[in-house]
Structure 1
Amino acid sequence: MTHSSQKDSTRKIVPLVFITVLVDMLGIGILIPVIPQLFTNPASPHYILHSTAYGESGYFLVGLLLALYALGMFLSAPIFGELSDRYGRKKMLALALLGGSASYSFFAIGIAIQSIPLLIFARITGGLSAGNIGIAQAIIADITTPALRAARFGLIGAAFGIGFILGPSLGGILSNPQGLGIFGAATPFWFSAFLAGANALWVFLVLPETNKNIERGTKKLSLLRSFHNIARALRPSSRRALFGVNFLFQSGFSFYTSFLGVLLVYRFSMNEVDIGTYFSYVGIFIVITQALITRPVTARYSEKQILRLSLPAVSLCIIALAVAPSQSLLYIIAPFFAISVGLSVANLTAAVSRRAGETIQGEVLGINSSINALAQSFPPILGGVVATVITPTATLLVGAMFVAFAAYGYKHVTHS
């Protein structure tokens, strides 16, 4: 292949990967305003627990459904990565997208027939199919020189941000009975199924295979790769304390992401449109942080200086969100929260990478990804129990406590 044709191929692939990640984040964001209405708001026309035996367990069901997806992703993401090394990126990316499309379809049917077991099955299917982001990153690595990778990985971050801005608002609009909610609360899920299915078809028809070093059958597939990664994280090393800090931070943040929507229903009786609008507002400031704030701040201050302020700030913001007496105050807190989270995530990842030698960057960042996935698995379940036994407000306070422990650990244990 000539240099010119390689350049043309790259120009085709990068936008495709960008759209793949964007569609994935749209599908996730669309669901955010709908889930609390289905299980925790008896006043909503979307509430599905009236005629079931699960009426008193709405908070726990929210946590269970979110946890099953995260646990499935924890188990499957490294396996999809290994399979894409063995069988190619194109096939495995299309398979992951088709699995996601099937999951959304099952969930839509589960809503229509009010079947909790089918909803649970749908979330398990979705989690086990959630390998597309890792494969998208591998595709970028395949076609990009090391000097350009940071910029192109930044495109993936931008797709995350745009999807998080558009997704929640779109979810609120599509599920609104007075708007485009043709199929009620199932409409956003049918839409997500269509997006994922169309994306899979596009990948199959347009994306060229980027893995030029396919190692078919040369290495035994490890079905327990994520657990091996966690075991390696626990081994004595200069990174172990930092892995622990990242786990505590990601766990605390997961309490927030899992139950803020529930809290907005519980405290302020928000409907799906209100919740979608608020999450999109937060997403705008996440993108602003990524695009305009992180680079100049990290250029001027060290990771140590930033994290010693940003981690406590995240904890304080979560507390403020949990106890805010008015909706207007939620909107005031959001920019400070988004900036603190953006700086914390970027600098924790950089700190882990800095402590890894050049020859084990991929291994160490893979371990860190498994830690992040595990940290998203147990907080929804624990949060569901806390919300049921106490209140949804207490769930966010528990999340703030985890982040506070992360801040303490970073300052006193990691010796950064």
Structure 2
Amino acid sequence: MGLEKNSTAQTEQAVSSAKPGAKLDLWKISPSLLAICIDAMGFGLVYPILSAIFSDPHSGILSAGISEQWRFFFIGLGYAVYPLFMFFGSSLMGELSDVFGRKRVLSTCVLGLSASYFMMAAGAALPSLVLLIVGRGLGGLMAGCQGIAQAAISDLSTPETKAINMSVMSIAYSAGIVIGPVIGGATSSSATVSFFSYWTPFALVGLISFACYLWILVKFKETTRAARTRRISVLLPFKVIAEAATDQRVRLLCVVFLLMQIGYSLYFQMILLQLQHEFHYSTLGLGLFSGLIGTFFVVGLTVVVRALLRRRTAAYTAQVGLVVAGVAQVASGLVHVQAGQWVLAMVIGAFDMVAYTTLLTVFSDAVPEDKQGWVLGVSGSVMAIGWVATGLLANLDPVLGDSWLIFLGGVFWLASYALMTRYVRKRDRGTAIPTPAVAEEI
């Protein structure tokens, strides 16, 4: 799914344990909720517009006479630069928030997001490839705002209110996933308003982000004590990955998660290009299609995951999500009927969330309590690597075509399923950390 978001499984567990008498203080956590919504909204909004900008010979961002190979190189660069910088930013900003406090770092991240969107708006309007790519990279670097906002909500919660606060956080994130692509599609199309163009959705989210920054300055109260004696290392993401590679409890899970992320990101990026190339979709159409996927993320999270976990373990449910999404994506690569792609998008969206949510739970269950923060950092870093790899794979589009790359992504899903089956068998033989059943917990 969307690049990384690390609290879905925990949120699902929190929803079920909410106490009837818990009091919801939306006013108190509203700055953090808005930051989470903006982060999710921006992710879904950007990809359809980037696909349109780099594919449109009249956008001016690239020379009209540029070769197809170079056009796909820049599409891949636009895709990859965000997760590349997110790989460093998400863990770095989280550490900085522990050292300097949540408010200072969260406000900096949200202001940075605002600046990144205004840079992309300027890049699309002028047009300037440099501004567009630099703005995209800055957005990735500032992507740690969601994790900090989640931590702040956790800081503000009591044992009685934590469950309900976490469930509302999930709603804010889900709303951003659904609303972002629709807003992006509607505000980038001149069919909606005559002066709308590729730059307008970037500018709109930039303004919303700046309003959130002001809201944080006014309303947000510091939630943690700064620990300025702690040392911060920019090499932290590499250290996390190196530790995971040598830890037998999570090493195989990392490969499973990496293949899954490559599979889904190939779908999400290439299906937008296919809809443009084969069915001539506008940015409005791409936004509505992306919004449909986001809607079925929510269906997967709120309906399918819970139904499966009433009867099975998280590991089994992850296998179901992986194989169903994989088969659906293979079919998507072979189908050239527009209505069929919309139906398959619903299946892939729902079961991507099934696999994503339960894999995070399996990650969490594989390590003791004192390693929970570490293992969530591992999953976030692995996800970023997967999306960077997919950006590079976009260069194969002129050779293989959109459909075959979507098909290839489905193969990655199925390989992930096969390795997850191997993980479960090893666990059952006692050669891996057991994953307890969590049907009653979620």
SS at match of 1:344: helix
Alpha carbons of structure 1 residues 118 and 274: separation in structure 2 relative to 1, 3 Å: same
Match of 1:39 in 2: 54
Please list, as runs of the form range in 1=range in 2, the aligned pairs for 1:3-402 lying within 5 A after superposition: 11-42=26-57, 46=59, 48-51=61-64, 53=66, 56-145=69-158, 148-180=161-193, 182-211=195-224, 213-216=225-228, 218-382=229-393, 384-402=394-412
Residues 270-289 of structure 1 deviation map (CA, whole Å, 9 limit, x = unaligned) = 11111111111222221122
SS at match of 1:314: helix
Q: What is the CA-CA distance between 1:12 and the residue it aligns to?
A: 2.5
Aligned 8 A contact 2:60 2:127 in 1: no
SS at match of 2:272: helix
Provide the identity percentage.
28
Aligned 8 A contact 1:60 1:388 in 2: no
SS at match of 1:238: coil
Alpha carbons of structure 1 residues 181 and 291: separation in structure 2 relative to 1, 3 Å: farther
Alpha carbons of structure 1 residues 297 and 329: separation in structure 2 relative to 1, 3 Å: same
How many residue pairs get aligned? The number is 405
For 1:11 and 1:272, how far apart are their aligned partners in 2?
34
Match of 1:405 in 2: 415
SS at match of 2:227: coil
For 1:342 and 1:348, how far apart are their aligned partners in 2?
10
Letter in 1 for 2:387: Q
**TM-score, structure 1 normalization:** 0.91
Match of 2:17 in 1: none
Q: What is the CA-CA distance between 1:152 and the residue it aligns to?
A: 3.0
Residues 197-238 of structure 1 deviation map (CA, whole Å, 9 limit, x = unaligned) = 111111111111111x3101x111111111111001101322
For 1:366 and 1:236, how far apart are their aligned partners in 2?
14
Letter in 1 for 2:62: L
Alpha carbons of structure 1 residues 326 and 165: separation in structure 2 relative to 1, 3 Å: same
Aligned 8 A contact 2:266 2:409 in 1: yes
Q: What is the CA-CA distance between 1:10 and the residue it aligns to?
A: 5.1
For 2:407 and 2:163, how far apart are their aligned partners in 1?
35
SS at match of 1:208: coil
Aligned 8 A contact 2:318 2:356 in 1: no
Aligned 8 A contact 1:175 1:181 in 2: no
Alpha carbons of structure 1 residues 183 and 176: separation in structure 2 relative to 1, 3 Å: closer
Residues 113-159 of structure 1 deviation map (CA, whole Å, 9 limit, x = unaligned) = 22222222111211112110110111022112456545433333322
For 2:169 and 2:70, how far apart are their aligned partners in 1?
37
Structure 1: 5+ residue stretches without partners: 1-6
For 1:325 and 1:78, how far apart are their aligned partners in 2?
41
Q: What is the CA-CA distance between 1:391 and the residue it aligns to?
A: 0.9
For 2:296 and 2:274, how far apart are their aligned partners in 1?
21
For 1:314 and 1:271, how far apart are their aligned partners in 2?
26
* Of 158-167 and 46-55, the range deviating more from structure 2: 46-55
Aligned 8 A contact 1:57 1:388 in 2: no
Alpha carbons of structure 1 residues 264 and 104: separation in structure 2 relative to 1, 3 Å: same
Alpha carbons of structure 1 residues 159 and 334: separation in structure 2 relative to 1, 3 Å: same
* Of 265-274 and 331-340, the range deviating more from structure 2: 331-340
- Which runs of structure 1 show a deviation greater than 6 angstroms over 4 or more consecutive aligned residues? none
Aligned-pair Cα RMSD in Å: 2.1
Q: What is the CA-CA distance between 1:344 and the residue it aligns to?
A: 0.6
Alpha carbons of structure 1 residues 150 and 379: separation in structure 2 relative to 1, 3 Å: farther
Q: What is the CA-CA distance between 1:91 and the residue it aligns to?
A: 1.0
